[in-house]
């Protein structure tokens, strides 16, 4: 059986042997499996790049996994930045305004780094590992059975070709025997040889038919095994769908935690700047993320500007604030571009329209989340988070 496989394969290559075709449904299953494997590999590789942009680190992690050893813990970029900032604050003076700010930012970056580490770990367990298990487990089994099916098909094609040749030779021998005259007393030598050859080809046909039946049975059995494995790709898709949902949940949690950490840091920096530089501007000078049209609560919370709280008693400096008596300082006014529409809550606030330019300034004792805005002959308090301060 082994020696006939190359012969049958060679004859197939030259179009001289019959090739057993698979049914259309089987071919579709094969194409679907190949597509699943190819896209799983691409998604796996790109997710690895997302979680670990450093190619050298990825190679190192790959080698540790192949050696079945635990990957050593690696400092994230955020944690490394936090370390540098903390060391800089220690050397430049932890009690100076710059040093204090470095320490606060360092603590926030450290929390961001820890959050990133948790996200990478969760994504690796819930998403990357199942994809690798499919490629290194189920797919290898499918590939092995497909190779066996290919060998069984070649064996079957060889048997078909052998039987076809045997029947052709048998028919030829029978024809030659029929054309020789029959003498009762003396039989020509070539007639005796023809009869002998015909009997031999009869035996060869019987033998070839038996081998064909065996080869057909083995091929059918292997085709059924392979078909069942290929149909299991549907279960693989269901499993990968569940893993993908877990990956999205991990990513959502990661970005939400990062957003909270940065909000806390922004509040700390705003309070410290108001204490260190009274009467100057506080808040960000960069535009905040614009609101999205999505109605998702999570998306809205992460993109809309945070309105300053108006509950509770006003600070002492604002309690007696009379807008008619407020005059801009001799120096310290700035232009600001309005990022979003804002509707004034009362007469002490100034309504805003997106993209308009106003003049803003701060007064001693004001809430750091607010500024005084002027537009023409109108003035009032405006929230800092709705503005982009221009230099």
pLDDT digits (tens, 9 = 90+) for 131-162: 999 999 999 999 999 999 999 999 999 999 98
Is the distance from CB of 277 to CB of 327 less than 8 angstroms? no
Q: If we measure between CA atoms, which residue out of 347, 355, 345, 331 comes closest to residue 383?
A: 345
Q: In this structure, which long-range contacts are made by residues 69-73, counting pairs with CB atoms below 8 Å and at least 24 apart in sequence? A: none
By the 10 Å C-beta count (0-12 exposed, 13-18 middle, 19+ buried), 13 is classed as: exposed
Average pLDDT score, the chain: 79
User: Does residue 13 carry a pLDDT above 80?
Assistant: no
Closest alpha carbon to 340 in 329, 351, 326 = 351
More confident residue, 244 or 64: 244
| pLDDT beyond 70 at 195 | no
Extract the tokens encoding 285.
């000078």
Residue 10 Cα distances to 6, 16, 19, 99, angstroms:
6, 9, 12, 79
Question: pLDDT class for 325, splitting at 50, 70, 90?
Answer: low
**3-state SS assignment for residue 371:** strand
SS3 372: strand
Indicate if the pLDDT at residue 193 is higher than 80.
Answer: no
Cα 147 from chain centre? 30
Please determine, for residue 252, whether its predicted confidence score (pLDDT) is greater than 70: yes
89: nearest Cα among 76, 103, 70: 103
Give just the sign of the alpha carbon dihedral 163, 166, 172, 173: negative
Q: Where are the alpha helices (H) located in the chain, listed in sequence order?
A: 4-13, 24-51, 55-66, 77-92, 97-123, 129-133, 139-178, 189-231, 233-276, 297-303, 316-319
Judged against a pLDDT cut of 90, whether residue 28 lies above it is answered with: yes
Contact at 8 Å (CB) between 301 and 328?
no
Global confidence as pTM: 0.59
Q: Which domains does the chain have, with CATH numbers?
A: 24-178+195-274 (1.20.1270.60), 334-390 (2.30.30.40)
């Amino acid at each position: 059986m082994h020696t006939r496989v190359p012969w049958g394969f060679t004859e197939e290559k030259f179009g001289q042997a019959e090739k057993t075709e698979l049914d259309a449904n089987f071919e579709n299953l094969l194409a679907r499996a190949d597509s699943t494997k190819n896209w799983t590999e691409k998604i796996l590789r790109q997710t690895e790049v997302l979680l670990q942009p450093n190619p050298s680190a990825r190679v190192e992690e790959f080698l540790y996994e192949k050696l079945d050893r635990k990957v050593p813990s690696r400092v994230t970029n955020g944690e490394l930045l936090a370390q540098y900032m903390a060391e800089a604050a220690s050397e430049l003076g932890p009690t100076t305004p710059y040093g204090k700010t470095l320490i606060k930012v360092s603590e926030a970056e450290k929390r961001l780094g820890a959050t990133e580490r948790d996200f990478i770990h969760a994504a690796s367990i819930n998403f990357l590992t199942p994809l690798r298990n499919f490629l290194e487990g189920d797919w290898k089994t499918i590939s092995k059975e497909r190779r066996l099916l290919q060998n069984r098909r070649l064996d079957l094609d060889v048997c078909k070709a052998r039987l076809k040749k045997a029947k052709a030779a048998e028919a030829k021998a029978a024809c030659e025997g029929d054309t020789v005259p029959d003498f009762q007393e003396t039989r020509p030598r070539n007639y005796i040889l023809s009869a002998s050859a015909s009997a031999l080809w009869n035996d060869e046909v019987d033998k070839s038919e038996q081998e064909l039946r065996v080869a057909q049975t083995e091929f059918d059995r292997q085709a059924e095994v392979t078909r069942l494995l290929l149909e299991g790709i549907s279960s693989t898709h269901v499993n990968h769908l569940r893993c993908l949902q877990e990956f999205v949940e991990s990513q959502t949690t990661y970005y939400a935690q990062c957003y909270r950490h940065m909000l806390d840091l922004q509040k700390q920096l705003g309070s410290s700047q108001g204490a260190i530089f009274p009467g100057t501007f506080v808040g960000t000078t960069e535009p905040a993320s614009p609101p999205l049209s999505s109605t998702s609560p999570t998306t809205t919370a992460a993109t809309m500007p945070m309105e300053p709280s108006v509950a509770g008693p006003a600070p002492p400096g604002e309690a007696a604030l009379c807008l008619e008596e407020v005059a801009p300082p001799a120096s310290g006014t700035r232009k600001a571009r309005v990022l979003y529409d804002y509707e004034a809550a009362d007469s002490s606030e100034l309504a805003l329209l997106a993209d308009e330019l106003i003049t803003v300034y701060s007064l001693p004792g004001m809430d750091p989340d607010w500024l005084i805005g002027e537009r023409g002959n109108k003035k009032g308090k405006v929230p800092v988070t709705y503005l982009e301060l221009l230099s």
